[in-house]
């Protein structure tokens, strides 16, 4: 009986490690397929064949293109009109990726400079 408990505990630990490893790397695994292409980004449209229509470029955008401090005007010049915007935040729709709708959320400071870019799930 003790061996079963040890094996069960070990399996639970391995599943937990696997889950949190996947969670930490999911942006890269799911949204890191292609480098950012401005024309593809702006012209992309959702379809039955391509439901995650902008998702493959999101990780490259987040890590390489959209550096902290970049002015909001430059962001909109690069990415086009956002799907949603507020005073200090804008968001671009990525499509239905994995099991839910995702977006690229960009937060700005009072001087309209980028503070943070992150992929969000709705």
Average pLDDT across the chain, whole number: 88
Confidence of residue 47 (pLDDT cuts 50, 70, 90): confident
Q: What's the total number of domains in the chain?
A: 1
Query: Is it the case that residue 67 has pLDDT exceeding 90?
Result: yes
Confidence at residue 32, expressed as pLDDT on a 0 to 100 scale: 73
Average pLDDT of the segment spanning 69-85? 96
Q: What is the extent of the structural domain holding 55?
A: 2-121
Q: CA–CA separation, 107 vs 76, rounded Å?
A: 13
Query: Is 50 in a helix, a strand, or coil?
Result: coil
């Amino acid at each position: 009986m003790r061996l079963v408990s040890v094996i069960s505990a070990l399996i639970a630990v391995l599943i937990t490690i696997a889950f949190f490893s996947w969670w930490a790397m999911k942006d890269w695994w799911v949204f890191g397929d292609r480098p950012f292409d401005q024309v593809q980004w702006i012209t992309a449209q959702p379809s039955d064949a391509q439901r995650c229509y902008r998702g493959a470029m999101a990780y490259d955008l987040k890590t390489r293109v959209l550096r902290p401090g970049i002015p909001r005007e430059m962001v909109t010049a690069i990415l086009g009109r956002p799907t949603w915007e507020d005073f200090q935040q804008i968001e671009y729709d990525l499509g239905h990726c994995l099991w839910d709708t995702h977006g690229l959320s960009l937060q700005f400071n009072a001087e309209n400079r980028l503070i943070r870019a992150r992929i969000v799930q709705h």
